[in-house]
C-alpha cells in the first residue's frame, strides 16, 4: 500500500473512533438521566446540514428505543435525543407537549452534562491513550545540550541567521530542555519576534528572530527547519557504490568538498546536490591522517555511504510504572490542551499568523500521520486529535456542544429558558456556518495541493 493510502486509513480509523466515542459521551449521560436516545449514528444519514435531503444509511439496526447506524455522509456523527433541537431539526416532535423521557423535561444541570458528555469523553480518551503510550513505550527524547554537533539548518533556518553547527542555548533567555521543543518555543516567543541565544565557533551570541519567521514556520508541510547535526562519518557503505570504488572505508570522516566545509551530513548532501556531474575533490580523515579523492557524481546518484544517526546522541529514556503513567497521562493531556489553545489564539491575535492560511480540512489532518504505520505515533496523534475535537466542540457556536452549553448556562444563571424558536434559528445559523467553514477549510487544502 502506498504512503498516501496508509495516511488515509489512519485518518479514517482515528476520526471514526473518536467521533463514535464523542457521540457515546452524549448517549451515556442521556441514558444515565433516563432520557430517550432515538438515533446513534457514526456519520450522517443525510446531506449535512440539510436533515431532509438524501436520507439513507449504509447500516442500521433498532435495539430498544435506539436506532444504531452508519450514515453515508462521512463527516461527523450524531445522537438524536428526544425533545432536543439538534442536527435533525425535528420540529414535529418539538411541537408536542414535553414527555418525562425527553431532554427538555430534564433539570438544567442534567442537560448540561448531556451536552458536555462528548467533550468529557474526548478528554478522557486522550488521557487514557497517553497513559497507555507512556506505560508501554515510555518517553525518549534528546536534550538540547546533548546535540553536541549543533544544528543542521535549511533555507528557513539560514534566513533567521542560523548556521550549521550552531548550538542553541535558549529562547528569549529561557533554556529549552528538549530539542524537539525549540520550534514551539520560537512560535511562542515574545511577540513572535524574540531572540535566540546561541554558541557559534565557541563564542556566545544572540540572534533576533526576524519578523515573518513564525508565519513561515507555521506553513511548513513536513519536517522542521532545524535538526540535530550529524558528523559526516562513514558508518556503513553500499556494495559497488561510488564510495566503495574510491576505496573509501568505514570510519572515514569527510571534511570538505572542493575546499568547502562538508563535515556534517546535511552540508555534504547539499554540496553534493549542487555539484552533480562536475569533478569534485573530497577531503577526509582516516586514522588521523588527512587524505582526498577526486570523482564525478552523476545527477541524482547516491554516493553510497550511510550514517547511523542514533549513535551520535545520548537520548534520555524514561520508563513509567502504572501509577506514574497515570499521573503523566493527566498532566500531558492538559499540557497539550494548553498548547493547542495557545496556537488557536495565535491565529486571531498574532500579526505573524494568518487565520485563513492556518485553517485546514481533512487533507491537513491526514498529513500529520506518517507514511509508515507506527502504533505509538498513531496513538499519540489520535490522542491529540481527541483534544482538538474537545476544544472545537467547546466553542460557543450554535450547532456545536459549546453553543448549547451557553444557552444552558444562561438558563441556570437567569432561571429563564431560551425559547425553542430561538434555539431552532440559532442552530440553523450555526449549522450553515459550520458547513461553510468545512467547505472553506477543505477547499483551502485542495487549493494548496494545486498551488504546490
How does strand 66-71 pair with strand 37-44? Answer: parallel
Its sign, for the CA torsion 167, 172, 178, 182, is negative
Say which residue the cell 539560514 belongs to: 158
Amino acid 350: pLDDT? 64
In sequence order, what are the residues at sequence separation of 6 or more whose Cβ sits closer than 8 angstroms to the Cβ of residue 18?
A: 122, 125, 382, 385, 386, 389
CA dihedral 224, 230, 236, 237 (to 10 degrees): 70
Q: Are residues 103 and 46 in the same domain?
A: yes
Q: Phi-psi category of 304—alpha, beta or left, where left has phi over 0 and alpha has psi -120 to 50?
A: left
Q: How confident is the model at residue 197 (pLDDT cuts 50, 70, 90)?
A: very high
The answer to whether residue 299 sits within a structural domain is yes
Show the cell assigned to 147.
Answer: 546535540
Identify whether residues 181 and 128 lie together within a single domain: no
Mean pLDDT of the chain: 86
Q: Are residues 108 and 178 in the same domain?
A: no
Q: Based on the fold, state whether residues 36 and 103 are members of the same structural domain.
A: yes
Are 222 and 243 members of one domain?
no
| The pLDDT value given to residue 310 | 77
Q: Give the range of the structural domain holding residue 273, as residue numbers without chain letter.
A: 236-309
Q: Do the Cβ atoms of 18 and 385 come closer than 8 Å?
A: yes
Looking at residue 346, its pLDDT comes to 73
Of 272, 289, 309, which one is at a domain's C-terminal end?
A: 309
User: Is residue 294 over pLDDT 90?
Assistant: yes
The domain that holds 291 is classified in CATH as 2.30.42.10
Interatomic CA distance for residues 449 and 283, integer angstroms: 42
Cα Dmax for the chain: 93
Q: Which pLDDT score, from 0 to 100, does residue 328 have?
A: 96
Which of 250, 284, 309 delimits the end of a domain?
309
Q: For residue 191, tell me if it sits in a domain.
A: yes
Considering the domain architecture, whether residues 180 and 108 belong to the same structural domain is answered as: no
Question: Are 37 and 107 members of one domain?
Answer: yes
Summarize pLDDT for 134-189 with one digit per residue, the tens.
999 999 999 999 999 999 998 888 888 899 999 999 999 899 999 999 988 887 77
Residue 420 CA to residue 252 CA, distance in Å, equals 77
For residue 91, CA distances in Å to 230, 303, 412 come to 65, 71, 24
Residue 300 lies in a domain: yes
Q: Are 52 and 83 members of one domain?
A: yes
Percent share of the chain, pLDDT over 70: 87
Q: What is the mean pLDDT of the segment spanning 431-447?
A: 65
Structural domain contains residue 353: no
- Is residue 343 domain-resident? no
In this structure, is residue 333 part of a structural domain? no
Final residue belonging to a domain, choices 258, 286, 309: 309
Asked if 39 and 59 sit in the same domain, the reply is yes
Question: What pLDDT score was predicted for residue 447?
Answer: 56
Could you tell me if residue 356 is inside a domain? Answer: no
- The count of domains in the chain is 3
Same domain as 90, residue 148: no
- Each residue's pLDDT tens digit, 75-107: 888 999 988 876 555 556 666 777 888 988 899
Close Cβ partners of 289 (under 8 Å, ≥ 6 residues apart): none
Q: Are residues 20 and 114 in the same domain?
A: yes
* pTM to 2 decimal places: 0.82
Q: How far apart are CA 150 and CA 229, in angstroms?
A: 6
Instruction: Calculate the alpha carbon distances from 14 to 23, 218, 264, 424, 427 in Å.
Output: 14, 24, 39, 32, 27
pLDDT at 404: 87
231's grid cell: 558528523
371 or 205, greater pLDDT = 205
Selection from 179, 136, 147 nearest residue 318 by Cα: 136
What are the pLDDT digits (tens) for 25-70?
999 999 999 999 999 999 989 887 777 788 889 999 999 989 999 9
Cell of 340: 493547542
121 and 19 co-located in one domain:
yes
Residue 192 lies in a domain: yes
Amino acid at each position: 500500500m502506498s504512503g498516501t493510502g496508509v495516511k488515509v486509513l489512519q485518518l479514517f480509523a482515528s476520526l471514526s473512533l473518536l467521533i463514535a466515542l464523542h457521540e457515546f459521551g452524549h448517549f451515556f449521560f442521556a441514558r444515565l438521566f433516563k432520557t430517550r436516545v432515538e438515533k446513534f449514528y457514526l456519520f450522517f444519514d443525510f446531506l449535512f446540514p440539510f436533515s431532509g435531503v438524501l436520507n439513507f444509511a449504509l447500516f442500521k439496526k433498532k435495539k430498544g428505543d435506539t436506532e444504531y447506524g452508519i450514515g453515508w455522509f462521512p463527516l461527523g456523527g450524531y445522537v438524536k435525543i428526544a425533545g432536543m433541537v439538534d442536527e435533525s431539526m425535528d420540529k414535529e416532535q418539538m411541537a408536542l407537549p414535553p414527555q418525562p423521557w425527553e431532554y427538555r423535561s430534564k433539570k438544567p444541570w442534567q442537560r448540561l452534562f448531556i451536552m458536555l458528555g462528548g467533550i468529557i469523553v474526548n478528554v478522557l480518551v486522550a488521557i487514557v491513550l497517553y497513559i497507555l503510550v507512556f506505560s508501554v513505550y515510555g518517553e525518549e527524547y534528546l536534550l538540547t545540550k546533548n546535540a553536541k554537533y549543533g544544528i543542521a539548518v535549511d533555507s528557513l533556518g539560514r534566513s533567521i541567521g542560523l548556521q550549521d553547527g550552531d548550538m542553541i542555548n535558549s529562547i528569549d533567555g529561557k533554556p529549552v530542555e528538549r530539542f524537539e521543543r525549540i520550534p514551539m518555543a520560537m512560535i511562542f516567543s515574545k511577540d513572535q519576534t524574540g531572540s535566540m541565544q546561541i554558541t557559534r565557533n565557541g563564542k556566545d551570541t544572540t540572534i533576533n528572530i526576524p519578523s515573518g519567521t513564525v508565519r513561515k514556520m507555521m506553513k511548513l508541510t513536513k519536517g522542521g527547519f532545524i535538526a540535530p547535526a550529524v558528523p559526516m562519518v562513514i558508518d556503513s557503505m553500499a556494495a559497488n557504490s561510488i564510495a566503495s570504488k574510491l576505496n573509501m572505508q568505514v570510519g572515514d570522516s569527510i571534511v570538505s568538498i572542493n575546499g568547502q566545509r562538508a563535515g556534517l551530513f546535511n552540508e555534504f548532501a547539499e554540496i553534493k546536490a549542487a555539484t552533480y556531474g562536475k569533478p569534485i575533490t573530497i577531503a577526509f580523515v582516516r586514522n588521523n591522517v588527512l587524505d582526498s579523492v577526486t570523482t564525478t557524481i552523476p545527477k541524482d546518484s547516491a554516493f553510497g555511504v550511510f550514517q547511523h544517526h542514533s549513535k551520535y546522541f545520548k537520548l534520555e529514556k524514561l520508563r513509567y510504572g502504572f501509577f506514574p503513567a497515570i499521573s503523566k497521562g493527566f498532566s500531558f493531556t492538559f499540557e497539550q490542551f494548553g498548547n493547542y489553545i495557545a496556537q488557536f489564539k495565535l491565529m486571531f491575535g498574532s500579526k505573524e499568523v494568518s487565520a485563513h492560511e492556518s485553517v485546514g480540512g481533512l487533507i491537513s489532518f491526514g498529513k500529520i500521520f506518517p507514511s509508515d504505520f507506527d502504533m505509538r505515533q498513531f496513538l499519540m496523534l489520535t490522542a491529540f486529535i481527541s483534544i482538538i475535537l474537545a476544544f472545537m466542540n467547546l466553542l460557543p457556536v450554535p450547532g456545536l456542544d459549546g453553543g448549547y452549553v451557553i444557552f444552558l448556562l444562561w438558563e441556570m444563571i437567569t432561571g429563564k429558558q431560551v425559547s425553542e424558536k430561538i434555539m431552532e434559528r440559532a442552530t440553523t445559523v450555526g449549522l450553515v456556518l459550520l458547513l461553510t467553514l468545512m467547505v472553506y477549510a477543505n477547499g483551502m487544502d485542495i487549493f494548496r495541493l494545486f498551488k504546490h
